[in-house]
């Protein structure tokens, strides 16, 4: 059985301000770096055989906290980047709601955004799912791979991998910063979710997964 851990990056100033990051390369803040270290101390117990990360610094630097404990080299994959939010990137969600109300309403309803250059959910799910499957192949039989990525990317990629529809996927809450999903795979049952939103207990509300 292969185990795949899909790990959301630590907190950033844009997370804290409910500002849409998308594929903007926003670094971890002090809280995010502490979260990464705390989470790494739990994840090292899984004895990962490989670590893969989005090439955006907030995910790569989160992965680096685990690499420091394991001695593993991080492989980066741009397919693990966050959803591209086009013209929303850099805006607060309040600004999106006020200035682009129709687009915001579709996003809130879990539908594809029409306009604004926002990546479709299908495109997001497929590219992240493909990256997750390639990452899983790095594990030896019975091994574990940890993948550091982003909130929307993780949820949509996992959902695509499991074959879930949008309605089913919307029953999952957004991943908290530095929390993760645990998936397993074997030849008889395929991919299964073993755990969701696992990590050190959060002390603040969940920021938007963007």
User: To the nearest 10°, the Cα dihedral for 199, 201, 205, 209?
Assistant: 0
Q: Are 36 and 61 in contact (CB under 8 A)?
A: yes
CA distance 14 to 32: 11
Give me the DSSP letters along 105-146.
Answer: HHHHTTPPP-STTPPPHHHHHHHHHHHHHHHHTTSPTT-EEE
Q: Which of 82, 119, 150, 160 is catalytic?
A: 82
User: Is-contact 11 29, C-beta < 8 A?
Assistant: yes
Is 9 a residue of the active site?
yes
Instruction: Tell me whether residue 203 is one of the annotated catalytic residues.
Output: no
- Residue whose structure tokens are 């002090």: 30
Q: Catalytic pick from 9, 104, 150, 179?
A: 9
Residues belonging to the active site: 9, 82
């Amino acid at each position: 059985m292969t185990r795949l851990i899909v790990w959301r990056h630590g907190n950033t100033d844009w997370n804290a301000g409910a500002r849409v990051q998308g594929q903007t390369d926003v670094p971890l803040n002090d809280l995010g770096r502490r979260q990464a270290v705390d989470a790494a101390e739990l994840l090292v117990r899984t004895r990962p055989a490989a670590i893969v990360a989005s090439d955006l610094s907030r995910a790569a630097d989160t992965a680096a906290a685990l690499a420091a404990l394991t001695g593993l080299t991080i492989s980066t994959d741009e397919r693990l980047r966050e959803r591209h939010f086009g013209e929303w990137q850099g805006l607060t969600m309040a600004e999106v709601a006020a200035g682009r109300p129709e687009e915001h309403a579709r996003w809130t309803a879990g539908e594809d955004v029409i306009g604004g250059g926002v990546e479709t959910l299908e495109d997001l799910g497929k590219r992240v799912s493909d990256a997750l499957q390639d990452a899983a192949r790095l594990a030896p039989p019975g091994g574990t791979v940890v993948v550091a990525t982003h909130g929307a990317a993780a949820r949509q990629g996992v959902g695509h991998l499991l074959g879930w529809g949008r309605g089913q996927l919307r029953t999952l809450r957004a991943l908290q910063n530095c929390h993760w999903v645990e998936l397993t795979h074997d030849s008889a049952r395929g991919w299964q979710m073993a755990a969701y939103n696992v990590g050190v207990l959060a002390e603040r509300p969940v920021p938007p997964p963007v």
